[in-house]
């Protein structure tokens, strides 16, 4: 049901209940389908009913409830499990609106290359999940539509850009949802919503759409889930469809490693140390968990300063300038006058510094070697996901004046972009809670191709610090 505009929204919202979905994760639901205990249609119907229960979250960009995309063949690790796809990749028969009001897309004629890989796992697609315009913001608050709300507290952001996906999974509508990550867009909403979010290595999956044309491919595709085993099972299933010969295989990861690892602990960003509070507490709590299991945890500072932050922002601006200039290739009705103020501001930021583009590319490309030298001696890096806890809605709205919003984003999104720049993997897991009950995520990162290590570490944290659920 939709919340009455004159009634205050409840602060905590979820749709978990005694139906076909129950509180199962995707692995468990797929097992029930294989056993004949439940059908894909029953799961789809239950998920649709749940989506209607939490419409106040504004997490769905395009519902396809009357025509769910159920795979014709009973194959794939997740056959029959319902999901949503983020509104920036093509699914045949559904529009791809990129979270913008600048055009209204017609239904895509064919699946994108990555969509085919995603669907190979057997998932049933119920529609498209909400996102900020072109994925540029770290909060899902499009000015032309209601903001996507955090189900843990509806007055707060659920992050971005895969915010709709995070809200749907955390609220129990579906156990797994597609997301992608060009600067933290899987990991940030996972942190805000108490979920698991893996950003794979560059080249780990089929590359399609805009990513194929980027001078530096910073975008990784993946999923948001409530359990580590769902994320691990998805990685293995996607790899069965296509595996990069340039990367070591992930395979099926089913628990923590038996070996003891050497972990680098990072608690500084370009602005200085993370101050005392829930964000720092969550990382230090996980560090103690690792040490209690025999792991070595050593403080390290990454070799980057504000120059790499500026280079990434400049590159983000290049993307905004490119989209607004070539938008009619997306849709002939594209109207650049209707893009939001953040996109306009990013475009201007780039154009005022366009002559520095070669230096930007050099700095971004050189970062991978510097990162490898710093963290190569370690099995993984433990660090915050964000510079501070989840803000209230409005704080990161694209209607905030551009210069002020950018400074807020710099302070908030200060740990995630480096893995997009370097093409290295990172995973978010729940690490703590704020006094208001909002989740706080922590992040593990590694060198390129080492997703298996990250999943093993995530399993360990999950076993030692069971992840909170909205249903409990």
Q: In this predicted structure, what is the pLDDT of residue 5?
A: 40
Band (47; pLDDT cuts 50, 70, 90): very high
Asked whether the predicted pLDDT for residue 211 surpasses 90, the reply is no
| pTM, rounded to two decimals | 0.97
Asked whether the predicted pLDDT for residue 16 surpasses 50, the reply is yes
Q: In this predicted structure, what is the pLDDT of residue 331?
A: 80
Q: What would you report as the CA-atom Rg of the chain, rounded to the nearest whole angstrom?
A: 20
Q: In this predicted structure, what is the pLDDT of residue 451?
A: 98
Asked whether the predicted pLDDT for residue 125 surpasses 50, the reply is yes
Strand order of the β-sheet with 196-199 is: 176-181, 220-225, 196-199, 426-433, 439-445, 380-384, 262-265, 296-299
- DSSP state, 92? B
Q: Cα separations (Å) of 55 from 59, 83, 147, 151?
A: 7, 16, 12, 11
Q: Which alpha helices (H) appear in 2-39, and where do they start and end?
A: 26-34
- Phi-psi sector, 336: left (phi>0), alpha (psi -120 to 50), beta: alpha
The position carrying tokens 């909400």 is: 130
Q: In this predicted structure, what is the pLDDT of residue 3?
A: 36
Band (4; pLDDT cuts 50, 70, 90): very low
Closest CA to 314 of 358, 274, 272, 279: 358
> What DSSP letter does each residue of 316-361 carry, written as one string?
HHHHHHHHHHHGGGT-TT--GGGS-HHHHHHHHHHHTTGGGHHHHH
Query: Which tens digits make up the pLDDT trace of 167-184?
Result: 999 999 999 999 999 999
Degrees to nearest 5, angle at CA 14 with 13 and 16 = 160
Contact present, 119 and 77 (Cβ < 8 Å): no
pLDDT over 90, % of the chain: 92
Q: In this predicted structure, what is the pLDDT of residue 141?
A: 98
Q: In this predicted structure, what is the pLDDT of residue 8?
A: 66
Query: Which residues are catalytically annotated?
Result: 86, 161, 185
Give the C-alpha separation, 108 to 433, whole Å: 40
Segment 221-244 shows an average pLDDT of 98
Band (2; pLDDT cuts 50, 70, 90): very low
Query: Which tens digits make up the pLDDT trace of 390-424?
Result: 999 999 999 999 999 999 999 999 999 999 999 99
Q: In this predicted structure, what is the pLDDT of residue 330?
A: 75
Give the C-alpha separation, 15 to 30, whole Å: 20
Q: Which range has the worst mean pLDDT, 66-75, 150-159, 303-312?
A: 66-75
Give the C-alpha separation, 267 to 265, whole Å: 7
Q: Which range has the worst mean pLDDT, 10-14, 310-314, 413-417?
A: 10-14
Asked whether the predicted pLDDT for residue 319 surpasses 80, the reply is yes
Q: In this predicted structure, what is the pLDDT of residue 208?
A: 77
Task: Say if strands 196-199 and 262-265 run parallel, antiparallel, or are unpaired.
Answer: unpaired
Residues with Cβ within 8 Å of residue 86, at least 6 apart in sequence: 128, 129, 131, 161, 162, 164, 165, 177, 178, 179, 180
Give the C-alpha separation, 136 to 144, whole Å: 15
Q: Cα separations (Å) of 299 from 215, 266, 268, 443?
A: 34, 6, 10, 15
pLDDT over 70, % of the chain: 98
- Whether a cis peptide bond, with omega within 30° of 0, leads into 161 is yes
Residue 272's CB: how many other CB atoms inside 10 A?
7
Task: Say if strands 149-150 and 153-157 run parallel, antiparallel, or are unpaired.
Answer: antiparallel
Q: In this predicted structure, what is the pLDDT of residue 251?
A: 97
Asked whether the predicted pLDDT for residue 459 surpasses 90, the reply is yes
Residues with Cβ within 8 Å of residue 373, at least 6 apart in sequence: 303
């Amino acid at each position: 049901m939709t919340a009455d505009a004159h009634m205050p929204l409840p602060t905590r919202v979820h749709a978990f209940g005694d139906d076909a979905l129950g509180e199962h994760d995707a692995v468990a639901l797929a097992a029930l389908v294989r056993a004949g205990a439940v059908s894909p249609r029953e799961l789809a119907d239950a998920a649709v009913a749940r989506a209607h229960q939490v419409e106040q979250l504004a997490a769905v960009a395009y519902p396809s409830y009357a025509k769910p995309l159920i795979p014709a063949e009973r194959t794939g690790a997740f056959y029959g499990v319902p999901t949503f796809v983020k509104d920036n990749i093509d699914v045949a028969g559904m529009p791809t609106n990129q979270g913008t009001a600048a055009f209204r897309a017609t239904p895509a004629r064919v699946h994108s290359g990555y969509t085919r890989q995603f669907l190979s796992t057997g998932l049933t697609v119920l529609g498209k999940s909400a996102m900020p315009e072109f994925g540029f913001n770290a909060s899902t608050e499009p000015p032309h539509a209601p903001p996507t709300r955090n189900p843990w507290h509806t007055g707060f952001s659920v992050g971005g850009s895969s915010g709709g996906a995070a809200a749907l999974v955390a609220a129990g509508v579906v156990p797994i949802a597609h997301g992608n990550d060009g600067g933290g867009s899987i990991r940030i909403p996972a942190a805000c919503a108490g979920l698991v979010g893996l950003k794979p290595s560059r080249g780990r999956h089929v590359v399609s759409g805009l990513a194929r044309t980027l001078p530096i491919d910073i975008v990784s595709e993946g999923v948001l889930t409530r359990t580590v085993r769902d994320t691990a099972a998805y990685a293995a299933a996607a790899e069965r469809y296509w595996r990069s010969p340039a990367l070591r295989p992930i395979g099926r990861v089913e628990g923590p490693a038996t070996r003891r690892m050497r972990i680098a602990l990072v608690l500084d960003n370009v602005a200085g140390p993370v101050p005392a509070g829930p964000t720092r507490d969550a990382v230090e709590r996980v560090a103690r968990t690792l040490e209690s299991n025999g792991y070595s945890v050593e403080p390290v500072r990454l070799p980057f300063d504000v120059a790499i932050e500026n280079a990434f922002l400049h590159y983000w601006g290049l993307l905004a300038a490119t989209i607004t200039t070539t938008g009619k290739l997306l849709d002939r009705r594209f109207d650049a006058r209707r893009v939001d103020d953040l996109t306009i501001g990013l475009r201007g930021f780039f154009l005022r510094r366009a002559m520095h583009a070669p230096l930007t590319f050099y700095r971004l490309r050189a970062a991978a070697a510097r990162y490898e030298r710093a963290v190569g001696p370690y099995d993984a890096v433990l660090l915050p996901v964000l510079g501070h806890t989840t803000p209230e809605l409005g704080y990161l709205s694209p209607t905030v004046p551009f210069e002020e919003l950018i400074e807020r984003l710099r302070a908030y999104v200060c740990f995630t972009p480096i893995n997009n720049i370097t093409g290295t993997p990172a995973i978010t897991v729940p690490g703590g809670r704020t006094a208001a009950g909002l989740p706080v995520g922590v992040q593990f990162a590694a060198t390129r191709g080492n997703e298996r290590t990250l999943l093993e570490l995530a399993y360990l944290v999950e076993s030692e610090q069971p992840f909170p659920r909205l249903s409990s």
